[in-house]
Amino acid sequence: MKECIGMLLAGGEGKRLGLLTAQLAKPAVPFGGKYRIIDFTLSNCSNSNIHTVGVLTQYAPYDLHKHISNGKPWDMDRKDGGVSVLSPYTGKTGGDWYSGTADAIYQNIPFINQYNPKYVLVISGDHIYQMNYQKLLDQHKATMADVTISVIEVPWKEASRFGILNTDEDLKIYEFEEKPEHPKSNLASMGIYLFTWDVLKHYLIKDATQKQSSHDFGKDIIPLMLRDQLKLYAFRFNGYWKDVGTLQSYWEANMDLLKDDCELKLNNKQWRIYTNNSNFPPQFISEGATVITSLINDGCFIRGRVIESVLFRNVDVGEGSIIEQSIIHSGVKIGENCVLKKVIVMENTTIKDGTVIQVNDDGEPVVINQEVLEQKALVMGGES
């Protein structure tokens, strides 16, 4: 028996990330010069001593499955428990895709039952934060709650963009409002739910029979539990938390890592973020190079100027090139005298000498890959 196991929702498509998720599940999108988005939640589980985790995948799962493999980077290669990848499956009575977050858990009730846990932590693999889930569990036990939802204070003017929890003084939740026009509180749900398993199981089975339900935690399960007057509590989280759901927020979250006062510390030795490590040689910074306020991974060769940027492994920056406020994924080769500002370059793209791509300070970052560059070259060629 396990006291608490984790269920990590990683099947989302992440439409608003555009090209980045065209062939990749959102949790597998590269982040922070070395990681994939899901590494943050997986590492949180590992660092919180939750070593039994089911990862629910559905959309474009290949890279994600390969990345997780046997869970070794997160110390989850265990005989007892460990990480299990849970994709939709067929059985004697047929099978179905996961039709919602709650349905994904519902379909895996047998998986959870085999560990006979007292509590189940439901989290999603597309948020960037460092959090000790044991503290959430402690509060859940102390309040004898049925559900505890982690919340973060957001600025009032942005509150209408979030799922807002209205609570009384001791954080007992009496109302949940999805993107309210006139928010009554600024406590936003972080999409982190801790359930007492018996209670959740009951509601999942009940919800599964409701034909009109969208089988979603936020839209169906939580409102139903509130209607039945269960004990739902909010857990206050103080620290860095970011939903990297859009290109703008993905870019911002990467840029946040470069700030000295960023609350999220990749260098925090007590709370390491783990990932699959590559075996590239160290980075080589040439005589004429300038690198400031940046994160650079192994295997890079820098000859130009890199300012406020995040470079993944094995990136070349040619002489005379200027890379500013950009995110360069692995294996990208940037020629000489290029200028990139506020650009996200996808894996293994080769950028020819003299290429200039700049986005205004207030513009949305642009994503490029080899195909985009070639189409662009065609258009430019046609004009001249």
Partner 1 sequence: MERMMGLINLEHEHHSFQELSYYRNSASIPIAGRYRLIDFPLSNMVNSGIDEIAVFVRSKYRSLLDHLGTGEYWDLDRRNGGLFILPPDWHDPTDMTKGDLQFFHHHRDCFLRCHSDYVLISGCQFITNTDYYEAFAYHLDRNADVTLISTHEEEILPEHDLYFRIEADDLGWVKNITNEKRNPHIFTGTYIISKKLLLELVDECIAYHKYHFFHHGIVNHLGSLKVQTFRHRGFHAFINSITSYYRHNLNLLNEETYRKLFFEKHFIKTKTSNQPPAQYKGLAEVKNSILSNGCVVDGKVENSILFRGVEVKKGATVKNSIIMQRSTIAEDVYLENVIIDKDVFITKGQKLIGSIEKPYVVPKWQTV
> Residues interacting with partner 1, by CB under 8 A?
32-34, 73, 260, 266-267, 272-275, 277-298, 301, 306, 310-312
Element holding 187 (H helix, E strand)? strand 187-196
Q: Are 317 and 306 in contact (CB under 8 A)?
A: yes
- The gap between the terminal CA atoms of the chain, to the nearest Å, is 70
Q: Of 207, 361, 266, nearest to 31 (Cα)?
A: 266
- The rounded distance, in Å, linking the Cα atoms of 283 and 330 is 13
Nearer to partner 1, 140 or 303 (CB): 303
For residue 90 the two structure tokens come to 């067929």
Q: Are 286 and 301 in contact (CB under 8 A)?
A: yes
We find the least distance from the C-beta atom of residue 260 to partner 1, in angstroms, to be 7
Q: Are 344 and 323 in contact (CB under 8 A)?
A: no
We find the least distance from the C-beta atom of residue 127 to partner 1, in angstroms, to be 18
We find the least distance from the C-beta atom of residue 56 to partner 1, in angstroms, to be 25
Nearer to partner 1, 207 or 308 (CB): 308
Nearer to partner 1, 282 or 381 (CB): 282
Give the rounded distance of the alpha carbon of 358 from its chain centre: 27
Nearer to partner 1, 226 or 289 (CB): 289
Nearer to partner 1, 275 or 349 (CB): 275
We find the least distance from the C-beta atom of residue 54 to partner 1, in angstroms, to be 24
Q: Count Cβ atoms below 10 Å from residue 284 Cβ, excluding itself.
A: 12
Nearer to partner 1, 185 or 275 (CB): 275
For residue 250 the two structure tokens come to 């993905």
Nearer to partner 1, 147 or 311 (CB): 311
We find the least distance from the C-beta atom of residue 202 to partner 1, in angstroms, to be 40
- The rounded distance, in Å, linking the Cα atoms of 175 and 197 is 22
- The rounded distance, in Å, linking the Cα atoms of 321 and 358 is 13
Nearer to partner 1, 116 or 293 (CB): 293
- The rounded distance, in Å, linking the Cα atoms of 85 and 53 is 9
- The rounded distance, in Å, linking the Cα atoms of 302 and 286 is 6
We find the least distance from the C-beta atom of residue 262 to partner 1, in angstroms, to be 11
Q: Are 215 and 100 in contact (CB under 8 A)?
A: yes
Nearer to partner 1, 139 or 297 (CB): 297
We find the least distance from the C-beta atom of residue 181 to partner 1, in angstroms, to be 41
CA distances from 239 to 9, 133, 150, 265 (A): 22, 13, 12, 11
Region of 117 please: left (phi>0), alpha (psi -120 to 50) or beta: beta
CA distances from 182 to 28, 96, 161 (A): 35, 38, 11
We find the least distance from the C-beta atom of residue 287 to partner 1, in angstroms, to be 5
